[in-house]
Amino acid sequence: MSEDAVGTIELGRSTRLIFTISWWKGRQYAGVRKHVETSRYSGPTKSGLAMAGDVLMGVINALAQLKAEVPGPEARQYARIAKAGGAEIVISVIPPDDLKALPSVDVREYIDIPGYQGPTKKGVRFPWDKLPEFIGLLETQARRIGSSEKAQPVLFPEARPGWVKKAETAGQGQLPGKDAVLSQILPDGPKDFPADFTNRKKPAYVVSLPAEPIAVVQQPDGTYVVQSDFAFRHDVRNPTEGNFIYYASLRGHREIRVPKEMLEVFRAVKAYENYLRDLRHALLQAYERKSGHRPMAQHQTKEVFDSAGLPWVE
């Protein structure tokens, strides 16, 4: 069996999950296996999964829906995906040992054979905060397997399994599952900065921003600049003007209008920061009501802010 590495998720200093694609008897399979590195042994363990394309797509869909649901810390079997031979992939939420921590996600093969019904060693477990990364690597595997399957010559192309087309575009559209909290609090997404917080009729100058991250930095002489680790550098009048430009860059803007009137800059930054604090409070409350778990609410709120390019202001 030949294997191609796709990606890795670090679980700890000596433990990681390695994602591969392998060929077996003319079919491609997505593999996820736990690897360890200790003084006694370094390499793969028995903990892992191999999934054909149809099973892989079922696992991706179930995990995406689980992510949108935001469960609490209690144990729960969330989904079951059928495999060949009467086995199933069972996705479960595992409660943390410390209620101040996040739960884990367990993706495991269950069997039902004479003499035994239940879980096997064929599975992986990972912390909740690794779930987006885990889904992303499964989607990478799906796209590769789907494209390879489509390239295989067949007599009747319309008879290809339905999962092939979905696998080709896995992760490139809207994930299945809808976060009810975001649908309620941000049905149209967060407000834009600076457009929703400035008056375009006011005089302004234009700043072109780089694609790389920027930061507001105080110079030895007490002045401030906005700069990147590369060649970008822009002098600003004060840290508030620097934050104006920095906040816009987080939202993905590459060209912005900065008001010439300093009062207009102050007003925009102040209003935006108040909006962010109110939004953070609303999300925290809603996620805690839904999950009954403060750490989960904090994690989900931070994830919303990070994915939307919203600064975490105190």
Beta strands in 219-283 (DSSP E): 224-228, 233-236, 255-259
CA distance 95 to 72: 8
Kindly list the structural domains of the chain, giving each domain's residue range(s) and its CATH number in brackets, ordered by start: 3-178 (3.30.2450.30), 184-308 (no CATH)
Bridge-based pairing of strands 204-208 and 116-127 is: unpaired
Bridge-based pairing of strands 15-24 and 3-10 is: antiparallel
Can you give the pLDDT at residue 26? Answer: 79
Can you give the pLDDT at residue 152? Answer: 72
What single string gives the DSSP state of each residue in 169-236?
TTTSSPPSS--HHHHHH-TT-PPPTTGGGS-TTS-EEEEE--SS-EEEEE-TTS-EEEEESSS-EEEE
CA distance 213 to 254: 11
Angstrom distances, CA of residue 146 to CA of 4, 49, 55, 180, 233: 15, 18, 12, 31, 44
Amino acid residing at 284: L
Can you give the pLDDT at residue 24? Answer: 85
Bridge-based pairing of strands 88-94 and 76-82 is: antiparallel
If DSSP codes are grouped into helix, strand and coil, which group holds residue 110? strand
Can you give the pLDDT at residue 154? Answer: 63
Can you give the pLDDT at residue 159? Answer: 60
Tens digit of pLDDT for each residue in 16-46? 999 999 988 878 999 999 999 998 999 999 9
Q: How far apart are the first and last CA of the chain?
A: 53
Q: Which long-range contacts (CB under 8 A, 24 or more apart) does 186-195 make?
A: 186/279, 186/304, 189/308, 190/279, 190/308, 190/310, 191/272, 191/275, 192/251, 193/247, 193/248, 193/251, 193/268, 193/272, 194/244, 194/247, 194/248, 194/256, 194/257, 194/268, 194/272
Bridge partners of 81, per DSSP, are 89
Can you give the pLDDT at residue 144? Answer: 92
Token digits of residue 107: 């993706």
Q: What is the pLDDT along the chain (314 residues), one digit of tens a residue?
A: 568 999 999 999 999 999 999 988 878 999 999 999 998 999 999 999 999 999 999 999 999 999 988 888 888 999 999 998 889 999 999 998 888 899 999 999 999 888 899 999 999 999 999 999 999 999 999 999 998 887 776 656 666 777 888 888 887 765 556 788 999 999 999 999 999 999 999 999 999 999 999 999 999 999 999 999 999 999 999 999 999 999 999 999 999 999 999 999 999 999 999 999 999 999 999 999 999 999 999 999 999 999 999 999 98
What is the sign of the dihedral through the CA atoms of 15, 19, 20 and 25?
positive
Q: Give 177: exposed, middle or buried? Use CB within 10 Å, 0-12, 13-18, 19+.
A: middle
Tens digit of pLDDT for each residue in 283-311? 999 999 999 999 999 999 999 999 999 99
Bridge-based pairing of strands 224-228 and 104-113 is: unpaired
